[in-house]
Amino acid sequence: MKAYVGIDLGSTTTKAVVLGEDGHMLGRGITNSRSNYTVACDVALSEALINARFGLIAGELDRSGLDAAAKTEALSALERLFRKHQYLEQLRVFGTIARRIIGSDLLARDQRGALDEILALMDAETPSLYAPGASRKSDFFRDLAGSRYLSYAEEIARSKRVGFDRLVGLFDKTILEVENVSAGDGAFVAHAHAAYEDFTGAPEALGLALARATAVPLTVTASVGTGYGRQTLPFPKEQIRSEILCHGLGAHAMFPATRTVLDIGGQDTKAIQVDGDGIVTSFQMNDRCAAGCGRYLGYIADEMNLGLHELGPMACASTRPVRINSTCTVFAGAELRERLSLGEKREDILAGLHRAIILRAMSLLARSGGIGDEFTFTGGVAKNPAAVDALAGLVRENYGKLTINISPNSIYTGALGAALFARRDAQRAAA
């Protein structure tokens, strides 16, 4: 089966989308951006191909006659167990690298016992992390393994008399190498079959669907890259497209009536106008400063000792938003601490911060040509409910009642546009 790939290398995350010959999305994947951009692209593509494989399994189950409820349950259990085996494999890689690092450092030899104990505890708890109904804050290995490792390291450092800071340093050194190991699409078969073996009471139809889906060859026919770091992508120059063009085309593919697109990513904000074919007619971007972008929100989360995902819900609880004078990342910490010292509530400060971010975006939209119906909001910040509420309110105030589109998969908009360009390039070359 021919596949067309789009990769969006962002400052925070790298996204990949895989399209089939008919332009239908087969799969999508996301990973942390890292210092090695080639590996980041490989991992994101690997995740997209895994997602595509699960889509093929779902298609096979549709043809098996299995009822909808049984199909949903079977797919959910298979993917959950697949992720368990994927996590265990990454944990084994982590252990191998960490032991090598310890072995090469004479001053670190006393950490070996503590490391072995931490890894044994992490291995033993894995089934509970991936049990039915279990809640995980993140499925990125760095985040999930990091939180568990640090929790156990703190306990063991006391009993083993090994410095906690040294165990943290070991994790930091090791995770950099772990993140630069890509398993590739071939790992899917091993993990999927291991997951099926773990699946007590798995329907026979699932085993047949798994066998058929893994037998389908997925051949990447063409690829296009975009994003903040596109100039460093491991692609030939002709396979690189502007993120403006990709976000415009991707938004048009998601919502064909789109005329205005706002993308707020980790490092930049883009206001884009498109025509009825998804072709960009004008645009505006912020400057090199990351003020008012995802990185700014991440900095605020760190200052408040909160998770990034907690900012939006907390801001939505505000009853009296504070007026924020600056969205400059350099001065944000100082203003935040000043507001807190004056007795302002955290939720009110956060509500003001979100409004200030959206006001910056509104100025870009105005300079690009205003907002036309329909208006599509994309990027990672589109998942933040406080940002969405602030945007909806300001759009109504300034432009009246318009259709505002936000896809649950908005973070993949740029990668989708890149994949569509890849498909077009391949078709043009074949004509």
Q: What is the pLDDT of residue 161?
A: 73
Q: What is the pLDDT of residue 325?
A: 64
Average pLDDT over residues 326-342: 69
The residues, any chain, with a CB within 8 Å of residue 338's CB and separated by 6 or more, are none
Q: What is the pLDDT of residue 85?
A: 94
On the question of pLDDT at 164 being above 60, the answer is: yes
Cα separation of 226 and 250, whole Å?
12
On the question of pLDDT at 250 being above 90, the answer is: yes
Three-state SS annotation for 226-280:
ECCCHHHCCCCHHHECCHHHHHHHHHHHHCCCCCEEEEECCCCEEEEEECCCCCE
Encode pLDDT of 272-281 as tens digits.
999 999 999 9
Least confident of 23-32, 130-139, 196-205: 130-139
On the question of pLDDT at 160 being above 80, the answer is: no
Beta strands in 2-129 (DSSP E): 2-9, 13-19, 25-32
Report the CATH fold assignment for 256-406. Nucleotidyltransferase; domain 5 (3.30.420)
Cα separation of 15 and 7, whole Å?
6
Domain extent listing, the chain:
1-64+203-254+414-431, 67-185, 256-406
**Which two tokens mark 403?**
């259709």
Cα separation of 91 and 85, whole Å?
10
Single-letter amino acid, residue 415: A
CATH 3.30.70.1900 fits 1-64+203-254+414-431, yes or no: no
Average pLDDT in the chain: 88
What global pTM score does this model have? 0.85
Average pLDDT over residues 85-96: 94
Q: What is the pLDDT of residue 371?
A: 95
Least confident of 75-79, 119-123, 137-141, 403-407: 137-141
Q: What is the pLDDT of residue 139?
A: 78
Average pLDDT over residues 34-41: 80
11 or 378: whose pLDDT is higher?
378
Q: How many helices (H) and strands (E) does the chain have?
A: 14, 9
Residue listed under structure tokens 């368990």: 84
Cα separation of 283 and 244, whole Å?
8
Instruction: Grade residue 186 by pLDDT with cuts at 50, 70 and 90.
Output: low
208 or 157: whose pLDDT is higher?
208
Q: What is the pLDDT of residue 333?
A: 66
Average pLDDT over residues 181-194: 78
Average pLDDT over residues 316-345: 76
Q: What burial letters (b/e) apply to 36-71, b meaning 16+ CB within 10 Å?
A: bbebbbbbbbbbbbbbbbbbbbeebbeebebeeeeb
Cα separation of 391 and 260, whole Å?
14
The two domains 1-64+203-254+414-431 and 256-406 share their CATH topology (first three levels equal): yes
Encode pLDDT of 385-394 as tens digits.
999 999 999 9
Average pLDDT over residues 176-191: 77
386: helix, strand or coil: helix
Average pLDDT over residues 192-197: 94
Average pLDDT over residues 356-384: 91
Average pLDDT over residues 342-368: 89
Instruction: Grade residue 17 by pLDDT with cuts at 50, 70 and 90.
Output: very high
Encode pLDDT of 106-154 as tens digits.
666 778 889 999 999 999 999 999 999 888 777 788 889 999 999 999 9
Cα separation of 427 and 52, whole Å?
21
Q: What is the pLDDT of residue 182?
A: 66
Q: What is the pLDDT of residue 300?
A: 81
